[in-house]
Each structure stands twice: as C-alpha cells, then as structure tokens.
Amino acid sequence: GAGVSQSPRYKVAKRGQDVALRCDPISGHVSLFWYQQALGQGPEFLTYFQNEAQLDKSGLPSDRFFAERPEGSVSTLKIQRTQQEDSAVYLCASSWRDRGYEQYFGPGTRLTVT
Amino acid sequence: GENVEQHPSTLSVQEGDSAVIKCTYSDSASNYFPWYKQELGKRPQLIIDIRSNVGEKKDQRIAVTLNKTAKHFSLHITETQPEDSAVYFCAAGGDSSYKLIFGSGTRLLVRP
C-alpha cells in the first residue's frame, strides 16, 4: 500500500515568511509524529498526535511552530515568521500503534530559509 | 535528559566483511529499540527492531542484540554488500514515552 507522503518535498522561504508542511500518514494509522532532522544528525522529536489529539508537543522549539491534525488523518506543521535556524528536513512518521512503536517515515520536506 | 549515544560515526568495511554499530541509552524505562537505514536524500527505513523482553533478533544478514543491564544494543550486518552503504540510526522508546530518541547516526561505506 501507499506509504507516508509529504508535501512539498522542497520549500524555500524568505526569513519572516510563514510556511505550511503537509503530511499524509498511512491510512488507518492512529499515531502521527513530526521530527526535525538537521544535516548530519538524527531526527529530533517535535510533536505527537494520537488520532486528532495532540498528546505531546514538548519538542516544538518555539511558539512559532504549530501542528494540527483536525480529522485524525492529514496533519499540517506550520512555522510562522521563519528564521534561518529553522532550515532542516521535517519528517513525518505514522504508526498503527500508540506511543513510539514501529514508526514509518515519509520522505520529508527540506526547508531552506534564506 | 533522555539520550542515545551511537558509535562509530563512520565505518568503512570491505564487501563481505561484517559491520557492527553500537548504541547506549540513558532512560532505563526504554523498552523498544529500532534501527533505521537512511540513504542520501531518502526517508529513514525501519530495518529491524527489538523489544526488551528478548536479547537478540535476527533477520537474514541483520541481527540486533540488547543488553538491558548495561543499557546498550548493537546492530550486526554480516556479508556486507555495496547496497548496505547508508547512514544507520539507532533509537530508543517505548511505553514510557510517545517519542523515539535517535542516535546521531553511523555512515557505513561498503567498499566493493
């Protein structure tokens, strides 16, 4: 079946612009995660949804970052007033399990803030 | 806080040799340990995982071992092939947390 998809795959934003990144999880997957991956590093947790409920947002780096999953399927990560330090690959993962088990990743969105 | 350390950061082996990557974790409540393979510009792919109720798991050329007392786990790849070249990440998670904590990655190069 179809895996996790993300769009856009690449995004260039001028500093100060708002961006919205989309994640389509595997159909039926309860859990959805957002991670940030800096160049040469492992993914770092941003936030977690179980269905439409955001149960953990402890990894969001600032209040400029906001995520939602209103109908328990598609999720959007929004970054307001982008800064250069926001440049990274944003990965979405989903799982049929709750909590952190068996996560399947999307291809990521590479965000470059100029 | 929670932390996963991964070694080595780079590993170069001859085709056919074995490769071993090691990780240690800090949260004693962790009970799930996956390994991901990430090729350049691609998504991380789950290649094998282990739960804390077992000490070893094998899938063809790939095996993972877990020492819960010492809080470390390892990935073993035997009979390496050039297509095994990639960055490998270990991670820790489980019942105690919603998230996975990732190591910093090991770049594996298999020389033909």
What is the reported pLDDT for B8?
97
- Burial label for A41, CB within 10 Å (0-12, 13-18, 19+), is middle
| Chain position carrying tokens 């409540």 | B29
Q: First vs last Cα of chain B: how many Å apart?
A: 41
What is the reported pLDDT for B97?
76
- β-bridge mates for residue A53, sequence order: A50
What is the reported pLDDT for B85?
98
Whether the CB-CB separation of A2 and A71 falls below 8 Å is answered with no
* DSSP letter assigned to residue A97: S
Using an 8 Å CB-CB cutoff, list chain B residues near A33. 98-100
Instruction: Answer whether A48 sits within 8 Å of B99, measured CB to CB.
Output: yes
Distance CA B42, CA A33 (A): 18
Instruction: Answer whether A100 sits within 8 Å of B103, measured CB to CB.
Output: no
More confident residue, A23 or B28: A23
Whether the CB-CB separation of B102 and B3 falls below 8 Å is answered with no
* DSSP letter assigned to residue A80: S
Judged against a pLDDT cut of 70, whether residue A64 lies above it is answered with yes
Using an 8 Å CB-CB cutoff, list chain A residues near B105. 40-42
Chain A residues touching chain B at CB-CB below 8 Å: 3-4, 31, 33, 40-45, 48, 50, 55-56, 59, 91, 99-108
Of all residues in chain B, the percent with pLDDT exceeding 70 is 99
pLDDT tier at B64, thresholds 50, 70, 90? very high
Distance CA B55, CA A74 (A): 37
Q: Tens digit of pLDDT for each residue in B25-56?
A: 999 889 999 999 999 989 999 999 999 888 89
Q: Tens digit of pLDDT for each residue in A71-114?
A: 999 999 999 999 999 999 999 999 988 777 899 999 999 999 99
Distance CA A93, CA B41 (A): 16
**If DSSP codes are grouped into helix, strand and coil, which group holds residue A85?**
helix
Q: How far is A101 from chain B (nearest CA, A)?
A: 6
Judged against a pLDDT cut of 80, whether residue A8 lies above it is answered with yes
**If DSSP codes are grouped into helix, strand and coil, which group holds residue A76?**
strand
> What is chain A's mean pLDDT, rounded?
95
Judged against a pLDDT cut of 70, whether residue B111 lies above it is answered with yes
Over residues A10-37, mean pLDDT: 97
The H-or-E segment that residue B42 falls in is none
Whether the CB-CB separation of A6 and A108 falls below 8 Å is answered with yes
pLDDT tier at A1, thresholds 50, 70, 90? low
Judged against a pLDDT cut of 70, whether residue A59 lies above it is answered with yes
> In b/e form, how buried is each residue of A73-100, taking b as 16+ CB within 10 angstroms?
bebebebeebeeebbbbbbbbbbeeebb
